[in-house]
Amino acid sequence: MTGLLACDSPEPSTSATEGSTANHTDASTAPGSSTDDSSGQTTTGTSAPTTGSSPDTTEGSTTDTGAAAPSFTEVYETIFMASGCLAGYCHGNMAGELLMTDEATAYANLVEVASSQVTCGLNVRVVPGAPEESVLWRRVRPSALDEGDMCATKMPAGSMGLGEADAQLLHDWIAGGALE
Q: For 1-26, write each residue's pLDDT tens digit.
A: 333 344 443 333 333 333 333 333 33
* pLDDT tens per residue across all 180 residues of the chain: 333 344 443 333 333 333 333 333 333 333 333 333 333 433 333 333 333 333 333 345 776 667 789 999 999 999 998 877 777 667 755 667 888 899 999 999 999 999 998 999 999 999 999 999 999 999 999 999 998 888 889 989 889 999 999 999 999 999 999 999
Q: Is the pTM of this model over 0.85?
A: no
Which stretches within the chain are classed as H helix? 72-75, 103-110, 135-140, 164-175
Amino acid in position 180: E
d(CA 37, CA 46): 15
Residues paired with residue 42 on neighbouring β-strands, in sequence order: 36
State the Cα angle at 53 between 24 and 6, rounded to 5°.
50
* DSSP letter, residue 111: B
d(CA 169, CA 119): 22
Rounded to the nearest 5 percent, the helix, strand and coil shares of the chain are 25, 15, 60
Q: Residue 157: which of 4, 8, 5 has the closest Cα?
A: 8
Strand 68-70 vs strand 57-62: parallel, antiparallel, or unpaired?
A: antiparallel
